[in-house]
């Protein structure tokens, strides 16, 4: 039986027919007098009010609760997440987010607690923060941890401020910082925010940085180096110990961007290789849901010599086992968060750490590396692999083999959507023109990877035989390719 | 481990495919000398049951009796309608990332576009970004914007701005050459704007309203003074619900409105995640920090949404980026928008009024017992009182009875020793308010 009557005037555009809904903007659905909120009972009288202070009520849409629920439920159906599909967004580590952790972060004692509660009312939360600091120090091989930074980039800024404060405490003012071309995109921006001039350090022919190149750039005006390891090509910076020695020899400090830590759990502790400070993206390696772009958490881990400069206050444990806040820290760089950081994300990370333990974390990295290499080997005959050697947690292809057919990375990515996959990271890292960066993570099964590999192989064939299919993609989504250039020329940011 | 889907057979097949004998062999690219020599020293792994018991125990050792915590100071206890976490908790929102691929992220993108619109309307501004980390980082970014736009070097920051926000601002500015001048507060609890006269090379005046003491500031006066000196007014806040009742920062001439959005449907969560709200005048569009979502058209002319103006970010000329914000508080922004959609224009007005009335009722109940506000300016839902007799043991005595009677101010304001900052929102019943007043009575 045909599900659609032949006389039915069905619009064939996806998103306009069947149970793929259209959804107007909130305010288009507004009608004066509606409210989706049950106001608490008024048990006090109206108090006198200086009407000179009173403003117009903000022009918010007026909706019922069912309207609001339907609106957001429909919007959610236009989104792909890790719970929906394979999401191999390189360097973002889109692994499965355990449901138990969400539930635990929502426990009333955690979610309902005020950040300024006297320590006597917050022993559980303080103990959790204390234990998480210890765990992260152990994983990274560092001595002390600050949990305040709310995201990786804020962790970067915090780490650089620590380096700056350390140099200043020694009577030195340094102006430059070395940043490899395979570092994360936010590194130079963080350095600039901190008042440093970023100096690019070129990776060598093998896709990694050489100690010789760093030694040649390092001078007494250079505060240090920011290294992402494994780098954004998914390659281990083998010469990191020698690089660190070269930087330290000229009085510099070594910052390690820990965004790619998921490759190294239990295998490498960057603190043992000469890192003085690093941040960890908890939402990546320690599996917080990324929430459409946040919240994350970017704790900073340091060696002992930088500990006095860490943001205050610090959780301390007294001889009686009770936890307290140590506020008076005269050498601290100050604060980077109004309170204690993104505590809800920290709870999830702590739960993840406790669920996996030492062996589970090590196994996560092993399987993440296995999955990335499996994809690398399975696709290297159809996609150009600029650095054809074993990778760690992610592998970087390029569109070099498709360019002769006038098909680019963007086209490959969009066509993947038609096959039911979220595209990998595109056009990053910038050292690879037309890059396509795949990070499968350890929570993806062989079946999923095989299906992805089959889809990419099919798309590579299409690129040769019918490239217009790629250039037209995606076709099975609510909207087709959006004109981002026009949107930026005449920005419309509010309705 | 239940998170790993690999069977031993599959691992063997995959290892064969990549040409490795064991999983450990996969780490061959890492020199032996770089490997750690011992297993991680971490507590034993827990089952889901054990984990729940352990965290349940920690959560039970956190918190105070509901109805007896009168803390505000930048984190507020408000009722959260069940519909808000229900829709925000949809896995398609929660488990996605930054919408780099707009065709499969229209849900997040439309939600953020709507959030930007609602935020701009709430604050009386023209454009809002897709969120910053918290109120403190929003203030820091607001001031940095003013420094970029005016190319001037001096800032005036009110002493009645949240002390932690001022500390974060100082941290952000530490490596720079910019100079900060502190504006004192007057006897009424509001910023003394006369101190602004004659400050040369002024880039920004940063004032919080309602301020840290709960007092409603004269933002119009601050805007006038800032503009007369050629600077911008950066209006900060910790309680956006206040603008359901009070004049918005935009209506009073602010150039940037920035602050904390936790009140809008997010639980206190021991201080985070919250939401850095950030809005500004259209003229500063290309200097806005953080991400922006804009309207776009697809190939069929259909409306959609995309991340836009990303060239201000790290992608191009990345060392000259206006901000390093990448991961933000996107999911919190979506939650706040859903909350505002539930309340609507009238709901927000009535809720704000109720908050005002609850605090005024507490003020009255305390005054009846001889405990008066420290400052004379009108307040929203928090205010400062001086403990009668300045008996230092009284605060601790109330803690022992299970009350948290506000935030003692001595640490941040030595001149306010013996004063406490009390907050009463709609979650406190009349009985709660009167019980506190009774307990605080001399």
**Shortest distance, CA B203 to any CA of chain A (angstroms):** 18
**Residue in A47, A75, A338 closest to B135 by CB:** A338
In a mutational test of the B interface, the residue from A141, A201, A293 whose CB has the highest number of chain B CBs within 10 Å is A293
Q: Would you state the pLDDT for residue B177? A: 86
Residues of A in contact with B122 (CB under 8 A): 58, 60
Record: contact B324-A153, CB cut-off 8 A:
yes
Suggest the residue from A479, A483, A488 to mutate for an interface test with chain B (most B CBs closer than 10 A): A479
Out of B28, B31, B348, name the one closest to residue A390 (CB).
Answer: B28
Contact residues on chain A for B340, CB-CB shorter than 8 A: 60
Residue B71: partners with Cβ closer than 8 Å, 6 or more residues away: A114, A116, A117, B404, B406, B407, B423
The CA distance from A212 to the nearest CA of chain B, in Å, is: 18
CA distance linking residue B375 with residue B413, whole number of Å: 14
Contact present, B134 and A115 (Cβ < 8 Å): no
Q: Are strands A425-426 and A435-438 parallel, antiparallel or unpaired?
A: antiparallel
| Closest listed residue to residue B257, CA positions, set B117, B349, B122, B149 | B122
In chain B, what residues touch A100 (CB-CB under 8 Å)?
A: 48, 51-52
Cα distances (Å, whole numbers) of residue B82 to B38, B75, B272, B338, B403: 48, 20, 20, 11, 27
* Distance, CA of A56 to CA of B246 (rounded, Å): 8
Residues B243, A55: Cα–Cα separation, whole Å: 8
Provide the β-strand partners of residue B211.
none
3-state helix, strand, coil in chain B (%, to 5): 45, 15, 40
Helix, strand, coil proportions of chain A in percent (round to 5)?
A: 40, 10, 50
Cβ <8 Å between A338 and B162: yes
Residue of A35, A370, A477 lying closest to B11 (CB–CB) = A370
Q: How far is CA B375 from CA B190, B195, B216, B372, B441, in A?
A: 8, 19, 11, 9, 19
| Alpha-helical regions (H) of B368-424 | 393-400
Q: Across the interface, do A80 and B105 touch by the CB < 8 Å criterion? A: yes
Give the phi and the psi of residue B69 in degrees, each rounded to 5: -100, 115
Closest CA to B238 of B168, B182, B162: B162
B133/A154 Cβ within 8 A: yes
For residue A46, list chain B residues with Cβ-Cβ distance below 8 A: 353, 357
Query: Chains A, B: CB contacts under 8 A, how many?
Result: 686
Q: How far is B143 from chain A (nearest CA, A)?
A: 13
A357 with B311: Cβ contact below 8 A: no
Beta bridge partners of B182: B157
The torsion angles phi and psi of B193, rounded to 5 degrees, stand at -75, -15
Nearest alpha-carbon partner for B129 in B308, B297, B373: B308
| Contact present, A368 and A94 (Cβ < 8 Å) | no
Q: What's the gap in Å between the CA of B442 and the closest CA on chain A?
A: 22
Chain A environment of B378 (Cβ under 8 Å): 49-50, 53
| Residue B266 CA neighbour count, 13 Å, CB half | 34
Q: Which residue in the set A77, A269, A273 is minimally distant from B107, CB to CB?
A: A77
> Of B39, B63, B117, which is closest to A113 when you measure between CB atoms?
B63
Chain A residues touching B299 at Cβ < 8 A: 480-481, 483
* One pLDDT digit (tens) per residue for chain A, 495 residues: 444 444 555 666 665 666 777 899 999 999 999 999 999 899 999 999 999 999 999 999 999 999 999 999 999 999 999 999 999 999 999 999 999 999 999 999 999 999 999 999 999 999 999 999 999 999 999 999 999 999 999 999 999 999 999 999 999 999 999 999 888 878 888 898 888 999 999 988 889 999 999 999 999 999 999 999 999 999 999 999 999 999 999 999 999 999 999 999 999 999 999 999 999 999 999 999 999 999 999 999 999 999 999 999 999 999 999 999 999 999 999 999 999 999 999 999 999 999 999 999 999 999 999 999 999 999 999 999 999 999 999 999 999 999 999 999 999 999 999 999 999 999 999 899 999 999 999 999 999 999 999 999 999 999 999 999 999 999 999 999 999 999 999 999 999
The predicted pLDDT at position B427 comes to 97
* pLDDT given at position A448: 98
Q: Cα separation of A23 and A20, whole Å?
A: 10
Q: Which of B80, B133, B140, B168 to mutate to test the interface with A (most CBs of A within 10 A)?
A: B133
User: In terms of CA atoms, which chain A residue is nearest residue B377?
Assistant: A50
The HSE-up count of residue B53 (CA atoms within 13 Å, CB side) is: 5
Asked whether the beta carbons of residue B34 and residue A238 sit closer than 8 angstroms, the reply is yes
Neighbouring CB atoms inside 10 A of A2's CB total 6
- Alpha-carbon gap, residue B257 to B207, rounded angstroms: 10
Rounded to whole angstroms, the Cα distance separating A345 from A351 reads 10
Cα–Cα distance measured from residue B342 to residue A37, given in angstroms and rounded to the nearest whole number: 5
Instruction: Give the closest of A58, A68, A82 to B243, CB-based.
Output: A58
Phi, psi of A437 (to 5 degrees): -110, 115
Instruction: Please indicate whether, in this complex, the C-beta atoms of A493 and B342 are within 8 angstroms of each other.
Output: no
In chain A, residues with a C-beta closer than 8 Å to the C-beta of B172 are 157, 193, 336
Nearest by CB to residue B344, choosing from A50, A60, A484, is A60
Q: Answer whether B270 sits within 8 Å of A122, measured CB to CB.
A: yes
Rounded to whole angstroms, the Cα distance separating B406 from B428 reads 14
User: Residue B114 and residue A272: Cβ atoms within 8 Å?
Assistant: no
* Contact call for B354 and A42, based on CB within 8 A: yes
Q: Which conformational region is residue B188 in: left (phi greater than 0), alpha (psi within -120 to 50 degrees), or beta?
A: alpha
Contact assignment for A268 to B34 by CB distance below 8 Å: yes
Query: How far is CA B189 from its chain centroid?
Result: 23
Closest alpha carbon within chain B to A294: B329
Cα torsion angle, A230, A233, A239, A243, sign = negative
Per-residue pLDDT reduced to its tens digit, B376-416: 999 999 999 998 776 668 899 999 999 999 999 999 999 99
Residues of B in contact with A240 (CB under 8 A): 34
Tell me the chain B residues in contact with residue A112 when contact means C-beta distances shorter than 8 Å. 63, 66, 77, 267-268
Task: Print pLDDT tens along chain B (442 aa).
Answer: 899 999 999 999 999 999 999 999 999 999 999 999 999 999 999 999 999 999 999 999 999 988 999 999 999 999 999 999 999 999 999 999 999 999 999 999 999 999 999 999 999 999 999 999 999 999 999 999 999 999 999 999 999 999 999 999 999 998 888 999 999 999 999 999 999 988 999 999 999 999 999 999 999 999 999 999 999 999 999 999 999 999 999 999 999 999 999 999 999 999 999 999 999 999 999 899 999 999 999 999 999 999 998 865 544 455 566 678 888 999 999 999 999 999 999 999 999 999 999 999 999 999 999 999 999 999 999 999 998 776 668 899 999 999 999 999 999 999 999 999 999 999 999 999 999 999 999 8
Decide: helix, strand or coil at residue B158: strand
C-alpha closest to that of A258 among A278, A273, A285: A278
Taking every pair of C-alpha atoms in chain B, what is the biggest distance, in angstroms? 82
Phi/psi of residue A438, each to 5°? -105, 125
Nearest to A69 by CA among B337, B92, B87, B264: B87
CB contact under 8 A, A267 and B130: no
Pairwise CB contact (< 8 Å): B97 & A89? yes
Closest Cα in chain B, distance from residue A90 (Å): 12
Helix H or strand E segment including A246:
helix A240-249
Task: Spell out a b/e string for A170-202, using b for 16 or more CB atoms within 10 Å of the CB, else e.
Answer: eeeebebbbbbebbbbbbbbbbbbbbbebbebe
Q: How far does Cα A428 stand from its chain's mean position?
A: 14
- From the CA of B327, how many Å to the nearest CA of chain A? 5
ipTM of the complex: 0.97
Q: What is the pLDDT of residues B315-363, one digit of tens each?
A: 445 556 667 888 899 999 999 999 999 999 999 999 999 999 999 999 9
- Is there a contact between A36 and B342 if contact means CB atoms under 8 Å apart? yes
Is A124 in contact with B57 (Cβ distance < 8 A)? Answer: yes
Contact list, B328 vs chain A (CB under 8 Å): 151, 293-295
Q: Is A354 in contact with B30 (Cβ distance < 8 A)? A: no
The C-alpha of B380 sits at a distance from chain A's nearest C-alpha, in angstroms, of: 10
């Amino acid at each position: 039986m045909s599900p659609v009557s032949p006389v039915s005037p069905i619009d064939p555009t996806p998103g306009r027919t069947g149970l793929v809904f259209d959804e107007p903007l909130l305010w288009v659905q507004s009608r004066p007098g509606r409210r989706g909120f049950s106001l608490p009972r008024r048990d006090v009288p109206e108090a006198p009010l200086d009407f000179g202070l009173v403003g117009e009520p903000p022009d918010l849409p007026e909706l019922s609760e069912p309207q609001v629920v339907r609106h957001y439920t429909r919007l959610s159906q236009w989104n792909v997440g890790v719970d929906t599909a394979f999401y191999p967004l390189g360097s973002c580590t889109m692994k499965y987010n355990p449901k138990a952790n969400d539930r635990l972060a929502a426990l009333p004692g955690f979610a309902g607690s005020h950040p300024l509660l006297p320590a006597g009312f917050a022993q559980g939360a303080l103990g959790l923060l204390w234990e998480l600091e210890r765990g992260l120090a152990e994983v990274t091989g560092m001595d002390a941890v600050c949990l305040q930074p709310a995201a990786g980039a804020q962790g970067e800024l915090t780490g650089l401020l620590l380096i700056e404060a350390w140099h200043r405490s020694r009577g030195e003012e340094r102006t430059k910082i070395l940043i490899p071309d395979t570092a994360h995109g936010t590194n130079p921006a963080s350095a600039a925010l901190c008042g440093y001039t970023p100096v690019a350090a070129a990776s060598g022919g093998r896709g990694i940085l050489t100690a010789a190149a760093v030694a040649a750039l390092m001078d007494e005006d250079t505060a240090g180096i920011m290294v992402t390891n494994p780098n954004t090509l998914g390659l281990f910076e083998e010469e990191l110990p020698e690089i660190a020695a070269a930087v330290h020899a000229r009085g510099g400090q070594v910052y390690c961007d820990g965004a790619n830590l998921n490759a190294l759990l239990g295998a490498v502790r960057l603190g043992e290789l000469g890192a003085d400070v690093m941040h960890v993206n908890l939402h990546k390696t320690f599996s917080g849901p990324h929430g459409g772009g946040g919240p994350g958490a970017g704790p900073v881990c340091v060696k002992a010599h930088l500990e006095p400069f860490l943001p205050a206050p610090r959780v301390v444990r007294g001889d009686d086992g009770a936890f307290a806040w140590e506020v008076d820290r005269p050498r601290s760089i100050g604060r980077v968060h109004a309170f204690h950081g993104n505590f809800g994300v920290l709870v999830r990370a702590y739960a993840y750490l406790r669920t996996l333990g030492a062996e589970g974390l090590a196994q996560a990295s092993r399987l993440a590396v296995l999955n990335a290499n499996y994809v690398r080997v399975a696709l290297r005959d159809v996609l150009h692999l600029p650095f054809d050697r074993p990778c760690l947690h992610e592998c970087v292809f390029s569109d070099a083999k498709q360019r002769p057919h006038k098909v680019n990375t963007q086209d490959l990515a969009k066509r993947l959507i038609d096959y039911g996959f979220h595209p990998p990271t595109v056009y990053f890292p910038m050292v690879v023109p037309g890059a396509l960066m795949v990070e499968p993570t350890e929570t993806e099964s062989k079946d999923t990877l095989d299906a992805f590999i089959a889809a990419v192989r099919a798309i590579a064939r299409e690129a040769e035989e019918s490239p217009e299919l790629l250039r037209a993609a995606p076709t099975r989504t609510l909207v087709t390719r959006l004109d981002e250039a026009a949107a930026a020329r005449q920005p419309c940011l509010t309705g | 481990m239940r998170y790993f889907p690999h069977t031993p057979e599959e691992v063997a097949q995959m290892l064969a495919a990549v040409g490795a004998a064991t999983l450990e062999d996969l780490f061959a690219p890492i020199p032996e000398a770089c490997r750690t020599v011992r297993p991680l020293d971490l507590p034993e792994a827990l089952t889901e049951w054990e984990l729940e018991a352990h965290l349940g125990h920690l959560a039970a050792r956190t918190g105070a009796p509901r109805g007896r915590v009168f803390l505000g100071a930048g984190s507020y206890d408000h009722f959260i309608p069940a519909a808000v976490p229900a829709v925000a908790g949809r896995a398609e929102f929660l488990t996605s990332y930054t919408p780099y691929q707009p065709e499969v992220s229209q849900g997040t993108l439309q939600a953020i576009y709507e959030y930007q619109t609602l935020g701009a309307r709430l604050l009386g501004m023209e454009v809002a970004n897709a969120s910053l980390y918290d109120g403190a980082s929003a203030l820091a970014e607001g001031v940095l914007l003013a420094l970029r736009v005016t190319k001037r070097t001096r800032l005036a920051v009110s002493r009645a701005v949240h002390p932690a926000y001022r500390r974060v601002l100082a941290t952000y500015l530490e490596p720079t050459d910019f100079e900060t001048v502190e504006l004192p507060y007057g006897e009424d609890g509001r910023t003394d704007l006369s101190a602004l006269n004659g400050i040369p090379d002024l880039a920004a005046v940063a004032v919080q309203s309602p301020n840290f003491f709960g007092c409603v500031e004269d933002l119009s006066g601050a805007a006038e003074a800032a503009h007369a000196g050629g600077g911008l007014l950066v209006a900060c806040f910790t309680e956006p619900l206040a603008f359901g009742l009070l004049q918005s920062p935009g209506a009073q001439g602010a150039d940037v409105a920035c602050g904390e959005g936790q009140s809008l449907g997010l639980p206190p969560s021991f201080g985070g995640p919250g939401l850095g709200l950030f809005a500004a005048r259209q003229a500063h569009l290309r200097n806005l920090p953080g991400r922006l979502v804009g309207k776009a058209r697809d190939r069929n002319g259909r409306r959609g949404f995309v991340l836009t103006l990303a060239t201000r970010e790290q992608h191009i000329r990345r060392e000259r980026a206006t901000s390093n914000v990448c991961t933000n508080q996107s999911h919190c922004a979506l939650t706040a928008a859903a909350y505002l959609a539930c309340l609507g224009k009238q709901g927000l007005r009535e809720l704000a009024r109720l908050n005002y009335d609850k605090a005024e009722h507490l003020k009255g109940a305390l005054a009846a017992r001889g405990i008066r506000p420290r400052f004379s300016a009108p307040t929203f839902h928090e205010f400062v009182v001086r403990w009668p007799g300045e008996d230092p043991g009284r605060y601790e005595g109330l803690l022992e009875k299970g009350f948290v009677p506000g935030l003692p101010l001595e640490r941040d304001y030595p001149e306010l020793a013996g004063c406490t900052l009390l907050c009463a929102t709609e979650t406190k019943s009349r009985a709660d308010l009167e019980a506190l007043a009774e307990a605080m009575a001399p």
